[in-house]
Amino acid sequence: MNSSQTQITASTWSRPLVRVVKDLTMDAGLVCTLLAAGLLAGKIPSHWRRAGLLRRLARGAGWAGFIGLIVFASPLTSNLLRAPLSNMGARLQEAGGGCLGHPGPLVILGGGATPDGLPGIESLERINAASLWIAKNHPPTSVAPLTVLLTGGPANLDHPEGPSEATVMARFLKLLLGGSHKKIEYLIENRSLNTHDNADYSHEILNARQPVLDKVQPLKIVLVTSQVHMARSAATFTKSKFEICSVIAPETPPVFGLITEAGWLNFPTARKTSATLNEWFGILGYWMRGWI
């Protein structure tokens, strides 16, 4: 990776600013602000200049927040946003035929981890998908070795000295595979903070291991990530001179007692809608920066 690329990674962004923007757009901050404005509409003193206009604007904001809450929590919204991304991910996997017989390397993208060293739900899904692919394509009896690269930076950005997503995922992947898979070489990339970093740092690690004559050729890899994330991931890795074969990690529906995705309005769906919006904004931002 050259110095110009280093300057445009997410690692250089203002983390507090990113959090505020995220809170006020994709998370609940904007909806709560609009609802609060609506509730305070009647409290605007009548002697204020243009009090009537301010009240109408506040009521309009309140209704916008109410409608926004319903839209976010509706499965219809979530499905409409997710369908194009899911279809693109499915087509990428179908084009690769499940990567049967692919020699690797296998690159697994981080999906979050807790500061105390537990993988997030998306990380678990990706680890499980990778373990199933390895068991099918590179069983313990396989003669050829397999390189597995796990990529993901600090689990807690406020304490970067703690465990990284990649380290946590590697530990759990080894537990899933057991001691019988002895011909696997595990590589850890623990600096990246986003998908663009994943691609650049992975290329840096894997390219250094290629013969000198092969360094100009695209790196052929099996890429493991979530279905709605696959389109952006594949485009980003392709831009970073990889040749991709896609393996989708199936999603696990959230079930917490009575809190499920069943019904026409629910909080798990609102979370899924927010995550999907994050993916669409990511695609737009990557396109604007020339990362895809």
Residues 63, 113, single domain; the answer is no
Q: Would the pLDDT of 17 be above 90?
A: no
* pTM: predicted TM-score of the whole model, two decimal places: 0.83
Give the structural domain span for 35: 22-70
Residues 127, 227, single domain; the answer is yes
For position 161, which CATH number holds?
3.40.50.620
Residues 133, 103, single domain; the answer is yes
Residues 37, 123, single domain; the answer is no
CA distance 276 to 227: 11
Residue 288 lies in a domain: no
- Using DSSP's 3-state secondary structure scheme, residue 252 falls into coil
Residues 46, 134, single domain; the answer is no
35 to each of 59, 154, 273, how far by Cα in Å?
Answer: 9, 35, 19
Residues 199, 245, single domain; the answer is yes
Residues 128, 246, single domain; the answer is yes
Average confidence score pLDDT of the chain: 84
Number of domains in the chain: 2
Residues 140, 247, single domain; the answer is yes
DSSP assignment of 87-117: HHHHHHHHHHGGGTT----EEEE---B-TTS
Q: Would the pLDDT of 215 be above 90?
A: no
State mean pLDDT over 165-184.
89
Q: b or e along 15-29 (b: 16 or more beta carbons within 10 Å of the residue's beta carbon)? A: eeeeeeeeeeebbbe
CA distance 10 to 18: 10
Report which of 248, 209, 276 is spatially closest to residue 74, judged by C-alpha positions: 276
The encoded tokens of residue 13 equal: 């962004």
Residues 38, 140, single domain; the answer is no
Residues 34, 161, single domain; the answer is no
Residue 260 lies in a domain: no
Residue 215 lies in a domain: yes
Angle of helix 267-289 relative to helix 195-207, nearest 10 degrees, comes to: 60
Residue 262 lies in a domain: no
Residues 65, 108, single domain; the answer is no
Residues 63, 115, single domain; the answer is no
38-72, pLDDT tens digit by residue?
888 878 777 777 888 888 898 898 888 888 888 88
Residue 283 lies in a domain: no
Which pLDDT belongs to residue 180?
A: 74
Residue 16 lies in a domain: no
18-42, pLDDT tens digit by residue?
666 666 666 667 777 878 888 888 7
